[in-house]
């Protein structure tokens, strides 16, 4: 089981454990032909993955539980590859939305959450400000949800004809995520027994006051094919490229570690950690693409806790930051510069290891080698250098 509170502790002192449920078990038939709408690509990224990333981008959301349809497991696995430990294994939904949420609540219960945000998978443009508003509402109420006031004139109609106007005063268009004290929403679902259109309906039926917080017009729900057309036009593709470079000298030893692969050699690389020069360059490329400094700022060599540390710790942190910032890692290219040892025989294993740690397909990882034609310190076999480039796409 994921230690949810340990994850939360890494983010700083927080008073309540915030979790999220993403409801993704629907069929989305109104969206037209094709796979369920939550798995359709939007700007090259599945709608579901965008919605998950939007939740993960908030520093207070410790865990995300996705509820899916039993027929969609392979689609889910493709969409969520490399999502990281804050995304729990999916659970299957029920015959209604309310039952699906109930299944998600039961899956979250062992983690001891204090509050839960329940969000529609088809709302991929959720902002941090909307989440902040809901969490602020939960400080004073057992439930809170974002909404927008109705501004258009409203009419009752029958057979295509206007019959009577409807006063729009005090009317709101509800959005998600709808947030609740965990024990309160569990009680509402266990005692509700109705196919509620949303979770506020259940809690309101128990006489619980629910706060209305500020919604966002961009937080609309993808329902029809026209919605996908609109979203595609509005979506601005944010592509980032980062570069990394590192070098380590040789010292007496019996092996080197490159891209997480141990290679027998008559020397080893000198460094504060395990001196994996290639993985360091890749990690720096990721931090560079995010404009978040370099590996030395995140893991100072002056800090004794990193003495002899495996470099995969550094890479995994960079990959985590990519997801938290709402990006998807799409490609890594690393070049190792040395005379010895020979890299070619180990390149496939290196690609596989980096792909595994990064959560991407090996076909998106390149590891290659070159010499410096016996020029410079690498040419004199005094050490190894590595360069790397990483590409990120806003999810």
For residues 79-94, give the mean pLDDT: 93
Asked if the model's pLDDT at residue 193 lies above 50, the reply is: yes
104-108, 129-133, 265-269, 280-284: least confidently modelled range: 265-269
Q: Minimal CA–CA distance to 277: which of 151, 116, 387?
A: 387
30-39, 209-218, 274-283, 347-356: least confidently modelled range: 30-39
pLDDT at 83: 86
pLDDT at 296: 85
**The 3-state secondary structure of the chain, one letter per residue:** CCCHHHHHHHCCCCCCCEEEEEEECCCCHHHCCCCCHHHCEECCEEHHHHHHHHHHCCCCEEEEEEEECHHHHHHHHHHCCCCCCCECCCEECCCCHHHHHHHHHHHHHHHCCCEEEEEECCCCCCCHHHHHHHHHHCCCCCEEEEEEECCCCEEEEECCEEEEEECCCCCEEECCCEEEEHHHHHHHHHHHCCCCCCHHHHHHHCCCCEEEEECCCCCCCCCCHHHHHHHHHHCCCCEEEEEEEEEEEEEECCEEEECCEEEECCEEECCCCCCCHHHHHHHHHHHHHCCCCCHHHHCCCCCHHHCCCCCHHHHHHHHHHHHHCCEEEEEEEEEEECCCCCCHHHHHHHHHHHHHHHCCCHHHEEEEEECCCCCHHHHCCCEEEEEEEEEEEEC
The model's pLDDT over 152-190, given as tens digits with 9 standing for 90+, comes to 999 999 988 999 999 999 999 999 999 999 999 999 998
pLDDT at 196: 79
Rounded-to-integer distance, Cα 394 and Cα 218, Å: 16
pLDDT at 13: 46
Q: What average pLDDT does the chain have? A: 90
Asked if the model's pLDDT at residue 5 lies above 70, the reply is: no
Residue 145 contacts residue 215 (beta carbons within 8 Å): no
pLDDT at 241: 96
Q: Minimal CA–CA distance to 179: which of 99, 118, 133, 132?
A: 118
**Residue 102 token pair:** 């109930």
pLDDT at 1: 43
pLDDT at 280: 95
Domains and CATH numbers, the chain: 4-234 (3.90.550.10), 239-394 (3.30.1330.50)
Measured in Å, how far apart are the chain's first and last C-alpha atoms? 27
Asked if the model's pLDDT at residue 381 lies above 50, the reply is: yes
pLDDT at 194: 67
Predicted confidence band of residue 11 (pLDDT cuts 50, 70, 90) = very low
Per the DSSP assignment, residues forming a β-bridge with 128 are: none
CA diameter of the chain: 89
pLDDT at 395: 67
Predicted confidence band of residue 3 (pLDDT cuts 50, 70, 90) = low
For residues 197-206, give the mean pLDDT: 87
Predicted confidence band of residue 12 (pLDDT cuts 50, 70, 90) = very low
Predicted confidence band of residue 67 (pLDDT cuts 50, 70, 90) = very high
Asked if the model's pLDDT at residue 23 lies above 90, the reply is: yes
pLDDT at 170: 92
**Residue 83 token pair:** 């999502």
Predicted confidence band of residue 232 (pLDDT cuts 50, 70, 90) = confident
pLDDT at 82: 84
Rounded-to-integer distance, Cα 23 and Cα 38, Å: 10
Predicted confidence band of residue 256 (pLDDT cuts 50, 70, 90) = very high
14-28, 124-138, 276-290, 332-346: least confidently modelled range: 14-28
**Residue 7 token pair:** 């994850």
pLDDT at 304: 79
């Amino acid at each position: 089981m994921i230690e949810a509170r340990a994850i939360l502790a890494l983010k700083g002192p927080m008073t309540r454990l915030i979790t999220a449920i993403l409801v993704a078990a629907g069929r989305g038939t109104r969206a037209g032909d094709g796979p369920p709408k939550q798995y359709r690509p939007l700007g090259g990224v599945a709608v579901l993955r965008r919605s998950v990333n939007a939740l993960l981008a908030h520093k207070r959301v410790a865990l995300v539980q996705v509820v899916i349809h039993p027929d969609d497991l392979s689609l889910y696995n493709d969409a969520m590859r490399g999502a990281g430990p804050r995304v729990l294994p999916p659970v299957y939904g029920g015959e209604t939305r309310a039952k699906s949420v109930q299944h998600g609540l039961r899956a979250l219960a062992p983690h001891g959450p204090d509050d839960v945000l329940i969000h529609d998978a088809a709302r991929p443009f959720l902002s941090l400000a909307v989440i902040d508003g809901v969490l602020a509402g939960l400080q004073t109420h057992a439930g809170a949800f974002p909404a927008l006031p109705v501004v258009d004139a409203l009419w009752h109609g029958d057979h295509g004809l206007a019959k009577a106007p409807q006063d729009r005063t005090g009317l709101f268009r509800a959005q998600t995520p709808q947030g609740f004290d965990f024990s309160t929403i569990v009680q509402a679902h266990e005692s509700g027994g109705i196919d509620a259109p949303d979770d506020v309906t259940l809690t309101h039926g128990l006489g619980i006051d629910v706060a209305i917080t500020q919604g966002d017009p961009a937080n609309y729900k993808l329902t029809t094919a026209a919605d996908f057309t609109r979203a595609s036009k509005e979506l601005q593709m944010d592509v980032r490229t980062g570069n990394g470079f590192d070098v380590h000298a040789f010292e007496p030893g019996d092996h080197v570690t490159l891209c997480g692969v141990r290679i027998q050699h008559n020397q080893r690389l000198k460094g504060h950690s395990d001196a994996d020069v290639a993985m360091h360059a890749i990690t720096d490329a990721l931090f560079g693409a995010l404009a978040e400094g370099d590996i030395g700022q995140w893991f100072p060599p002056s800090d004794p806790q990193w003495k002899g540390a495996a470099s995969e710790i550094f890479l995994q942190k960079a990959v985590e930051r990519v997801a938290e910032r709402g990006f998807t890692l799409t490609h890594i290219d690393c070049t190792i510069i040395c005379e010895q040892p020979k890299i070619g025989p180990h390149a496939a294993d290196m690609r596989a290891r980096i792909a595994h740690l990064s959560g991407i397909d090996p076909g998106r990882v390149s590891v290659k080698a070159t010499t410096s034609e016996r020029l410079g310190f690498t040419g004199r076999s005094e050490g190894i250098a590595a360069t790397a480039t990483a590409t990120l796409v806003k999810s």
